[in-house]
């Protein structure tokens, strides 16, 4: 087999045709435009996933830009909701996020949360802009005692590599045996032809994935028979192969080059031998392309070094001369994926406590850390992924997978993990994104990032509003905002944060600073939404075995926002509002508390006070230093 190395590869295919270059540019521009808006990946770190009635579900929340490998700074409001197993809405809160981190809790009231399975979901207003559901979803369970494990229904599926099964050439197919939640089971299997002749044996890994290669004949039918670890037997027909088309085979060692073989049969070659094809490697709006023609040997081999590929998930798509995708496959490139090791050392053990020191020598900047401490071997935490897989793996997959965190955790045997991860990617029919959307339906920015809450209202007093301004006061948290009124008495105050069960008062102030109680009708935005979980989000793996069809990409510091009831004289309105822990004695307010409640970020340590604006940037993730004046004098750098 002849290998075309990188330097030779580009010289070979650069001069194919000028239309090929135009094809590259058009496709790259279209693909880049689809990812013009910055989507974020979300993750909730739950304290555990199995609860007793009346316990508290606590979580840390993370928001991350996968493309830039940076926290999502614009995200302030994170919507966290709980649903029953059928997707019926039960409860929601809005969590305050700062520099990509927040935290909150849900009280699992036994009157609402009976024994059974539930789903917790995290999303943002900005994610409504995207065609794909990019929310975070995690199951949890409430039970009084450990029950006998229910028998899962497993499904046997096959996935031709690249999406096509072609007669007359060797094809690779992936095989999976998983339940609807993506949990797999090991098995042993055989491939048979229509006459019942056993053609080869194969065996799955512990996660339920395997692969085999064979050369299908147009005159034959094929099927698989597997025996699972639990003794159950499954039988599945292999999809009927096509007489025309391209097939793909991928080979790479643990840290070696990626080798992609594009193969076809004699029947197809006569039809496409002069056609230009486009080989693309893409990730999150970035794309590298190269033109090629199918070799008269019926196999074209393309080789790429690891340094040429993007770190993490790379999607490989081959396009024909009409810009139609004809092959697609995902691979994972581990070099360049940044993971920092955290070491834990027990310093002291006493009767009722343990002192543990955590160190991460490689970290060079501030990071967020969330810990869940549970008794060992209890089985009360079974999250489907960890924060690494949630940001580096899950955003690219069409459905959740079992034990996703396993694939990216450092191990002494990374070769095995690379092999297992490649089997997983081989059995993903498509990625998160559909090419019909990329070409025809790019996201539009209709929804903006929410920043706190907005109070909108109208003053009902019979006055000349041009002579007054409105004061909005929440004494328990030192909220004091002044708003202008239009000629009809309407007002709007943006980007404010309210305590749970806040009492808000309104006063009209004239030019003499005289105050008059204001009668106000108002609402707080965003409003709480009582929506059931979308069916597309609720379903886990609905794709069946077989070749590509119209449904695949080739076809056409943690404070918490909560629900609060705010009472006004004539009506009661339920709206989301800010929740945090308030001091018991609110009559003795420190200056720094007032500054903090006005929307600034405060750092205090060893007598040093630092004040930052919450207008964050990638260059200054801690915030921009504001101007501070005391008694009319500007301070540049000061110490207590």
Report domain extents, the chain: 6-22+246-333, 155-237, 452-525+575-589, 593-640
Q: Which two tokens stand for residue 16?
A: 């194919």
Strand order in the sheet with 299-304: 246-251, 258-264, 299-304
**pTM (2 d.p.):** 0.73
Q: What is the pLDDT of residues 574-595, one digit of tens each?
A: 333 332 232 233 333 345 555 6
What confidence score (pLDDT) does residue 275 get?
94
Residue labelled with tokens 């965190």: 405
The string over 311-327, giving b where at least 16 C-beta atoms fall within 10 Å of a residue's C-beta and e elsewhere, is: bbbbbbbbbbeeeebbb
Question: CB–CB of 343/262 below 8 Å?
Answer: no
Query: Which residues, at least 6 apart from 327, have a Cβ–Cβ distance to it below 8 Å?
Result: 162, 163, 164, 246, 247, 248, 262, 316, 317, 318
Residue among 230, 222, 155 at smallest CA distance from 544: 155
What confidence score (pLDDT) does residue 226 get?
97
Instruction: Using CB atoms within 10 Å of the CB of residue 190, give its burial: 0 to 12 exposed, 13 to 18 middle, 19+ buried.
Output: middle
CA dihedral 574, 576, 582, 587 (to 10 degrees): -60
What confidence score (pLDDT) does residue 322 get?
92
What confidence score (pLDDT) does residue 618 get?
46
Half-sphere exposure of 99 (CA within 13 A, CB side): 19
CA–CA gap between residue 465 and residue 5 (Å, rounded)? 76
What confidence score (pLDDT) does residue 11 get?
30
Residue labelled with tokens 């099927």: 223
CA–CA gap between residue 69 and residue 367 (Å, rounded)? 13
What confidence score (pLDDT) does residue 368 get?
66
State the Rg of the chain over Cα: 29
Handedness of CA 586, 587, 592, 594 (dihedral sign): positive
Q: Do domains 155-237 and 452-525+575-589 have the same CATH topology?
A: yes
Q: Which two tokens stand for residue 547?
A: 């070749």
CATH architecture of 6-22+246-333: Sandwich (2.60)
CA–CA gap between residue 327 and residue 247 (Å, rounded)? 7
CA–CA gap between residue 259 and residue 201 (Å, rounded)? 25
Question: CB–CB of 134/41 below 8 Å?
Answer: yes
Question: CB–CB of 76/450 below 8 Å?
Answer: yes
Residue labelled with tokens 């850390």: 369
Residue labelled with tokens 């197919």: 173
Q: Which two tokens stand for residue 50?
A: 């199995």
CA–CA gap between residue 284 and residue 395 (Å, rounded)? 10
**What separation in angstroms does the CA of 74 have from each of 39, 78, 247, 366, 496?**
11, 11, 43, 18, 15
User: What is the SS3 assignment for 148?
Assistant: coil
User: Which residues of 129-254 form beta strands (DSSP E)?
Assistant: 136-142, 155-160, 171-178, 187-193, 198-203, 209-214, 222-228, 233-237, 246-251
Fold of 452-525+575-589: Immunoglobulin-like (2.60.40)
Handedness of CA 541, 542, 546, 551 (dihedral sign): negative
Handedness of CA 207, 213, 217, 219 (dihedral sign): negative
- Residue 519 φ then ψ, to 5°: -95, 115
What confidence score (pLDDT) does residue 576 get?
33
**What separation in angstroms does the CA of 445 have from each of 27, 35, 39, 127?**
22, 12, 11, 10
- Residue 115 φ then ψ, to 5°: -65, 135
196 CB neighbour count, 10 Å cutoff: 7
CATH architecture of 155-237: Sandwich (2.60)
What confidence score (pLDDT) does residue 55 get?
92
If phi > 0 it is left, if psi is from -120 to 50 it is alpha, else beta; for residue 54 that is: left
What confidence score (pLDDT) does residue 391 get?
86
Segments of the chain with pLDDT less than 50 = 1-18, 540-590, 604-607, 618-619, 631, 637-640
Cis before 526 (ω within 30): yes
Q: What is the DSSP string of 492-531?
A: EEEEE---TT---EEEEE-TT--EEEPPEEEEEESPP---
What is the separation of C-alpha 447 from the centre of its chain, rounded to a whole number of angstroms?
Answer: 18
Instruction: Using CB atoms within 10 Å of the CB of residue 638, give its burial: 0 to 12 exposed, 13 to 18 middle, 19+ buried.
Output: exposed
Question: Which helix (H) or strand (E) is 541 found in, with range?
Answer: none
- Residue 200 φ then ψ, to 5°: -165, 160
């Amino acid at each position: 087999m002849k290998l075309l190395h990188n330097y030779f590869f580009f010289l070979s295919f650069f001069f194919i045709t000028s239309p090929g270059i135009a094809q590259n540019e058009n496709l790259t521009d279209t693909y880049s435009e689809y990812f013009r808006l910055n989507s974020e990946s979300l993750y909730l770190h739950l304290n555990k996933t199995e609860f007793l009635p009346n316990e508290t579900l606590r979580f840390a929340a993370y928001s991350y830009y996968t493309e830039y490998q940076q926290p999502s700074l614009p995200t302030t409001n994170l919507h966290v909701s709980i649903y029953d197993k059928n997707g019926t809405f039960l409860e929601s809160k809005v969590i305050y996020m700062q520099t990509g981190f927040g935290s909150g809790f849900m009280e699992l009231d036994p009157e609402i949360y009976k024994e059974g399975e539930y789903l917790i979901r995290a999303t943002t207003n900005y994610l409504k802009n995207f065609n794909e559901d990019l929310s975070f979803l995690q199951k949890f369970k409430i039970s009084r005692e450990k029950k006998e494990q229910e028998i899962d229904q497993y499904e046997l599926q096959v996935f031709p590599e690249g999406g096509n099964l072609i007669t007359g050439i060797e094809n690779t197919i992936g095989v999976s045996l998983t339940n609807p939640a993506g949990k797999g089971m090991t098995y042993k299997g055989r491939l048979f032809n229509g006459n019942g002749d056993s053609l080869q044996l194969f065996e799955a890994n512990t996660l339920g994935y395997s692969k085999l290669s064979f050369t299908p004949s147009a005159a034959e039918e094929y099927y698989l028979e597997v025996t699972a670890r639990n003794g159950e037997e499954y039988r599945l027909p292999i999809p009927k192969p096509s007489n025309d088309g391209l097939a793909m085979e991928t080979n790479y060692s643990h840290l070696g080059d990626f080798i992609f073989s594009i193969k076809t049969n004699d029947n197809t070659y006569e039809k496409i031998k002069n056609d230009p094809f486009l080989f693309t490697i893409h990730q999150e709006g970035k794309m590298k392309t190269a033109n090629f023609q199918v070799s008269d040997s019926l196999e074209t081999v393309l080789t790429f070094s690891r340094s040429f590929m993007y770190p993490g998930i790379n999607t490989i798509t081959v396009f024909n001369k009409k810009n139609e995708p004809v092959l697609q496959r995902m691979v994972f490139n581990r070099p360049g994926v940044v993971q920092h090791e955290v070491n834990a050392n027990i310093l002291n053990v006493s009767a009722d406590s343990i002192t543990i020191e955590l160190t991460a020598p490689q970290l060079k900047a501030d990071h967020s850390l969330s810990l869940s401490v549970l008794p060992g071997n209890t089985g009360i935490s079974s999250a489907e992924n960890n924060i690494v897989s949630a940001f580096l793996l899950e955003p690219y997959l069409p459905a959740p997978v079992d034990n996703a965190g396993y694939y990216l955790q450092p191990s002494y045997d990374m070769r095995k993990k690379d092999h297992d991860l490649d089997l997983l990617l081989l059995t993903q029919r498509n990625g998160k994104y559909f090419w019909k959307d990329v070409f025809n339906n790019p996201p539009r920015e209709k929804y903006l990032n929410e920043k706190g809450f907005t109070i909108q209202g109208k003053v009902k007093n019979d006055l000349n509003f041009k002579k007054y301004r409105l004061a909005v006061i929440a004494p328990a948290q030192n909220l004091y905002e002044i708003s202008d009124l239009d000629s009809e008495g309407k007002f709007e105050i943006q980007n404010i944060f309210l305590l749970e069960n806040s009492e808000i008062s309104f006063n009209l102030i004239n030019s003499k600073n005289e105050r008059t109680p204001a009668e106000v009708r108002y609402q707080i935005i965003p409003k709480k939404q009582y929506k059931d979980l979308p069916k597309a989000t609720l379903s886990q793996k609905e794709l069946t075995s077989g070749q590509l069809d119209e449904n695949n990409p080739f076809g056409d510091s943690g404070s918490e926002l909560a629900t609060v009831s705010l009472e006004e004289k004539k009506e009661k309105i339920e709206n989301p509002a800010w929740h945090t822990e308030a001091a018991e004695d609110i009559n003795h307010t420190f200056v720094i508390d007032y500054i903090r409640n006005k929307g600034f970020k405060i750092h205090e340590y060893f007598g040093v006070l630092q004040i930052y604006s919450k207008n964050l940037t990638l260059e200054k993730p801690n915030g921009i230093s504001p101007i501070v004046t005391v008694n009319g004098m500007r301070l540049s750098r000061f110490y207590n």
